[in-house]
Amino acid sequence: MIGYERLAQRALTGEAPGRDEAAALLDDPEVGLLRLVDAAFAPRLKHFGRKVMVHVLNNVQNGLCPEDCGYCAQNRDSKSAIRQYPMKTPESILEEAEQAAKAGASRYCMVLSGRGPTLAYTRRLAEVISEVKRRFPVEVCLSAGLVDREKAEILAQAGLDRLNHNLNTSERHYAEVCSTHTYADRVATLEAARASGLDTCSGLIMGMGEETEDLVEVAFRLRELEVPSIPVNFLIPIDGNQVAEDGSLTPERCLRGLCMMRLVNPSAEIRIAGGREGNLRTLQPLALYPANSLFIEGYLTTRGDTADETYSMIRDAGFEIDGNELYDATRKDGLDARHEAASDAVRDASHDAPADASSQSRFRIPGGGDQLLKPEIARPER
């Protein structure tokens, strides 16, 4: 039997449940979902109050990747209909950083495809990061593949706040989703970042054919690595990828996964990451009780709910947006025009969608309609 009050009290003191207990939180049919959510809310409330941190992703470089991570539309073997492009110009990256800050982002997340940057590429990134930090009141997170100590130190000196490199799954299961690098390579990147004084960001993806023990294992590995920011992704079923839906991601299992991660890592920032709209569906507001951050305006290659839709959900659930100085100033002048236009575009797309657009899958296209890929990512039809 699950002792919900005991789980909460232990989490409040920084103690994790046992591994068998953590597995039961995911699998036990007798778990009371709302009681579990309430237990996970206790440490979330202690460490973060009712604030929700907002993150905006910028896909700085798309495709062109030699790795074979089967869950990613940018991997070398994926048949997904994406457009490839090299690193965006500094001017474009800075413009999007300003948009992110005005949208209320606490953190601007720059992501580049590829195995990892060269030394020269790292120095180029460092220059852009330094300029973003100088101009805008946002923290900057970078995800650029495998990074060693020398490169991590260059990024740290530029003012980078966090380096992201997800473990994604357990060491046991890793070879099932990727063969071109190892789990140990990913851990080494996190250790290099930490040794250089950078905060780390690392999480997992649920729904890749893993067992419960794999989810528990990665949760405890992140605890051992003292990772302060943990994104919990839910597999997005992109046509053409090698890793497909495994049928495990009910909204309840996704919510249980977030609660388990919070209770194992009580003081970490737990993020509702990729696939939240399509997999949590109507349980999204409950996810704010174990988690304290999320992404807005989509992910690397796929659409997501707009800022307006997400902010309405946050406020309706009784939480508040953490924001930043520029966002607070923008709000005084009314809603940002970019988000009004984005909301109009989503509404127009949904009006044009066929009635049975999602009848072949339980996955809901965020914002309605039948187009999963972002317009700027999708490869033009010939």
Distance of CA 286 to the CA centre of its chain: 17
- Residue 333: predicted pLDDT: 66
Residue 108 covered by a domain? yes
| 198: in domain | yes
In a domain, 265, yes or no: yes
Query: What's the CATH code of the domain at 107?
Result: 3.20.20.70
The answer to whether position 375 is within a domain reads no
Cross-strand partners of 57: 109
What pLDDT digit, counting tens, does each position of 276-327 carry?
999 999 999 999 999 999 999 999 999 999 999 999 999 999 999 998 888 8
In which domain, by residue range, is 203 found?
48-352
- Scan for tokens 């120095």, then name that residue: 123
State the chain's mean pLDDT as an integer.
92
- Cα(98)–Cα(102) distance, rounded to whole angstroms? 6
CA 358 to chain centre: 24
In a domain, 19, yes or no: no
Q: What is the DSSP code string of 173-200?
A: HHTTT-SSS-HHHHHHHHHHHHHTT-EE
Residue 262 lies in a domain: yes
Helix H or strand E segment including 295: strand 293-295
Count of structural domains, the chain? 1
Q: Has residue 366 been placed in a domain? A: no
Q: Can you give the pTM of this predicted structure?
A: 0.88
369 within domain boundaries: no
**pLDDT tens digit string along 93-116?**
999 999 999 999 999 999 999 999
Each residue of 244-282: pLDDT tens digit? 999 999 999 999 999 999 999 999 999 999 999 999 999
Pairing of strands 204-206, 107-112: unpaired
